[in-house]
Chains A and B, each alone.
Chain A
Amino acid sequence: MTEATDLAERAGDRDPRVGLRAVAALRRLLEQLEAVQVRSARNQGWSWQEIAAELGVSRQAVHKKHGR
């Protein structure tokens, strides 16, 4: 049995491992989604300040993470 089908079967049992795995994966996906959106905004001429405001973080934080 593959790990994936095994997980699907256990998902209904509220197995913490499945829930925690989902959270960790979502975090990675979120980071990539953020990178895609920031890149797109920059390509459309948005300033770091504007991007930071939409994300609700400081300009320094967003520039440090995505700049260069």
Chain B
Amino acid sequence: MFERFTEGARGVVEGAVAHAERGGADKVEAGHLLLALLDARGTKGAFALSALGVRPEAVVSGLEEARRRGGVSAADAEALAGLGIDVGAIVSRVEEAHGEGALAHGRPRGRRLWAGSGHRPFTREAKTVLEQSLRVALARKEKSIGDEHLLLAMAARPGVVRDVLAGCGVTFDALERVLGNGNGNGGAAKAG
């Protein structure tokens, strides 16, 4: 599958590993793939994000907020509020007792198996994004997998990353509008 990745898509995968490393995460998460996509220049993924008017800071803070809430997106928090669960209140109480960002870290720092080592596994969610990108490319009858397929894959699967993107106006439909909906079907990307 990876041999079908374009240079841009490979750059995103490598960039995600670097983001995970910098953030001190023991695994490469789907959010790291999205952060790496924001760094892309001159790719179709970068084109789609700018065509939809995405502000990178909004994506970064959306991811950061979800992380601080223990993996709960803004849309998740709304759904939980419907059950009478105030996620904000839970987060503040836990942080009062256990320190800022307490819910953002799954395991004790400094004792991680992968800490400091060069190898970081991808989470199941991140792997799903990579697999889905292949399916998206096939469905669009496109032979190689570019970073725009990674972006479409993120917008296609339920999860924090999709919610953060949707909060910034990036839905699967919106992406198809700017990228076209498959080979030969136009879209602003081809027209431009």
Taking a contact as CB atoms under 8 Å apart, the answer to whether A21 and B166 are in contact is: no
Q: Give min CB distance, A30 to chain B, whole Å.
A: 9
Binds A, one of B7-15, B101-109, B141-149, B180-188: B101-109
Give chain B residues whose Cβ lies under 8 Å from the Cβ of A18.
79, 82
B73 at the interface (CB under 8 A from A): yes
Taking a contact as CB atoms under 8 Å apart, the answer to whether A25 and B113 are in contact is: no
Give chain A residues whose Cβ lies under 8 Å from the Cβ of B90.
29, 33
Interface string of A8-49 (1 = CB under 8 A from B): 100110000011011011101101110110011010000000
Q: Report the Cα distance A16→B94, complex, angstroms.
A: 29
Query: A29-B90, A32-B70, A35-B106 known; A22 and B82 CB under 8 Å?
Result: yes
Q: Which of A11, A12, A21, A66 has the most CB of B within 10 A?
A: A21
Q: Report the Cα distance A10→B98, complex, angstroms.
A: 35
Query: A25-B72, A29-B70 known; A68 and B79 CB under 8 Å?
Result: no
B81 at the interface (CB under 8 A from A): yes
Give the residues from 51 to 88 in chain B that come closer than 8 angstroms, CB to CB, to chain A: 69-83, 85, 87
Closest residue on chain A to residue B171 by CB atoms: A3
Q: Report the Cα distance A20→B1, complex, angstroms.
A: 32
The DSSP consensus for interface residues of chain B is helix
Can you report 27 residue pairs joining A to B where beta carbons are below 8 Å apart?
Answer: A4-B77, A5-B78, A7-B79, A11-B78, A11-B79, A11-B82, A22-B79, A22-B83, A22-B85, A25-B72, A25-B76, A26-B80, A28-B70, A28-B72, A29-B69, A29-B87, A31-B106, A32-B103, A32-B104, A32-B106, A33-B90, A35-B106, A35-B107, A36-B102, A40-B98, A42-B108, A68-B107
A interface, CB within 8 angstroms of B: 2-5, 7-8, 11-12, 18-19, 21-22, 24-26, 28-29, 31-33, 35-36, 39-40, 42, 66, 68
B interface, CB within 8 angstroms of A: 69-83, 85, 87, 90, 94, 97-98, 102-108, 111, 113, 158, 163, 166-167
